[in-house]
Structure formats: structure tokens, C-alpha cells
Amino acid sequence: MLTLYHSANSRSSGMITLIDEMGLEGQIAIHPVTIGRIDGSGMRDPANPHPEGKVPVLVHDGEVITERAAIILHLCQLFPQSGLSPVPGTPEWGRFVSWLVWYQGVLEPVLIHQAAGLTHPMLAATFRDHAAAVLRLQQALEAGPWLMGGAYSAADLLVHSPYAWFADFTPDDPLIRDWVARCMARPARARTMARDADWAGQPSA
Ligand SMILES: N[C@@H](CCC(=O)N[C@@H](CS)C(=O)NCC(=O)O)C(=O)O
């Protein structure tokens, strides 16, 4: 059995869109939970199995899977026919995995450092900076129109996400702006936003 623990308007919203894009509705139970929000609102939900009370969490037959890249990889391997990734084990799959892990390990930390106004030689040596990350995106999108080439994939879904939440971070480059706009125009994203509006108004289950 597969269950996704979700809190409306959070990083788990992208996983709701993923489930929709993969055509997996009905195969994964959605368990809404509350979380502590950065503005001090909300609170950790005792029903949430995440070791730090965060979302998203996917539970697969009792195994707890955290981190969006891990959840994406797990679902794409379980449901390879969904069309949101290359075939596992192929060279293209390796490039797909690189985008997801680069996002979690580099792009998101770089954006958080930037938002927090943090600079330090060790941070630069480890993560480089947003300008270096933007170059990687530009190179991929020049071939485009999606990160993996001709087809939208779960790499686009994850990597564009901070720019969808924080438009000010979006690099002033038409290639990147248009790609973010294309990702944001996906009908599955609009359906997630509508469902989140409902979930946000309900007490947690
Ligand atoms: N690296 C994690 C981050 C998860 C995360 O920080 N989620 C936030 C919601 S946007 C959360 O659950 N915050 C609640 C808390 O920090 O207690 C991922 O990408 O899945």
C-alpha cells in the first residue's frame, strides 16, 4: 500500500501534481496532515511519520520514504509506464537522476543561501552559486524545450518548483522564464492548487 502524507500549499503539493501527472490517482492514498509553518502558524501532526514532522512523506508497505527526489525516483521506478521519466536503467535515466539529485543537493541549498543572504568560501566551493546553477539550466533548455529534451518529465516538475513559489528568484532569461511558465501552465498543477484550496480549509484527517 502507498500513502502520501501531504499538507496543502507546501513542498508536498508538487507530489500531488506528480501523482496526477503519472495517472496514479486511486493507487496512492493521500493523508492530509498539519505542519509547523515558517511564519509560526500550524503545528507538527502526530499522525505524520516523517522523523522531523515534515512533508512530503511516502509510506510504501510500512517503509518511510522522505525527500521529494527520493519519492519521485521511487514512484517512477514502481510505475515506469507513467511516462514521467526515462526507462530505469538506461543512460537517460542516469541523466534524469542527476537532475533530481542536483536539485536537492545544489539548487535548493543555493537558493536558500541566497534568500538568507549567506556567503562563505566553503559554501561557494561546495555549491557554487545561483549563476553557476542558472548556466546548467540554460545549457539544458537551449536543447529543450524540457530539461530532458523533447518531453516533460518529473525533473521539470521538481527543478522549476522554487521559481514557481518565488517568482523573484526566476533568472531574467527568456529560456528559463518560458520553461517555468510552461511548467506552471500544466493542467495538473491547476488541479493541485484547487485541491489544496479545499484541503487548506479542512481540519487534518
Ligand atoms: N528536503 C525536503 C524538505 C521538506 C520540507 O522542508 N517541507 C516543509 C514544507 S514546505 C515542512 O514540512 N516544514 C515543516 C517543518 O519544518 O516542521 C524535501 O524536499 O522533501
Q: What is the pLDDT of residues 144-159, one digit of tens each?
A: 999 999 999 999 999 9
- Ligand 1 pocket: which of 38, 45, 54 to mutate (most atoms <8 Å of CB)? 54
Q: pLDDT per residue over 19-68, tens digit each?
A: 999 999 999 999 999 999 999 999 999 999 999 999 999 999 999 999 99
Q: Tell me what pLDDT residue 59 has.
A: 98
Per-residue CA distances from 9 to 15, 40, 151 (Å)? 11, 15, 26
Q: What is the pTM of this model?
A: 0.97
Scored b (16 or more CB within 10 A) or e, 149-171 reads: eeebbbbbbbbbbbbbeeeeebb
Q: Whose CA is nearest to atom 13 of ligand 1?
A: 54
CB 204 near ligand 1, within 6 Å: no
CB 34 near ligand 1, within 6 Å: no
- Whole-number Å distance, alpha carbon 126 to ligand 1 midpoint, is 22
Atom of ligand 1 nearest to the CA of 67: 20
HSE, side-chain direction, 13 A CA sphere, residue 167: 3
Q: pLDDT per residue over 74-84, tens digit each?
A: 999 999 999 99
pLDDT band per the 50, 70, 90 thresholds, residue 91:
very high
CB 68 near ligand 1, within 6 Å: yes
- Residue 117 Rama label (left phi>0; alpha psi -120 to 50; beta): left
Sign of the Cα torsion 64, 67, 68, 69 reads: negative
Give the whole-angstrom CA distance, residue 87 versus residue 106. Answer: 25
**What are the structural domains, with CATH classification, of the chain?**
2-83+188-200 (3.40.30.10), 91-186 (1.20.1050.10)
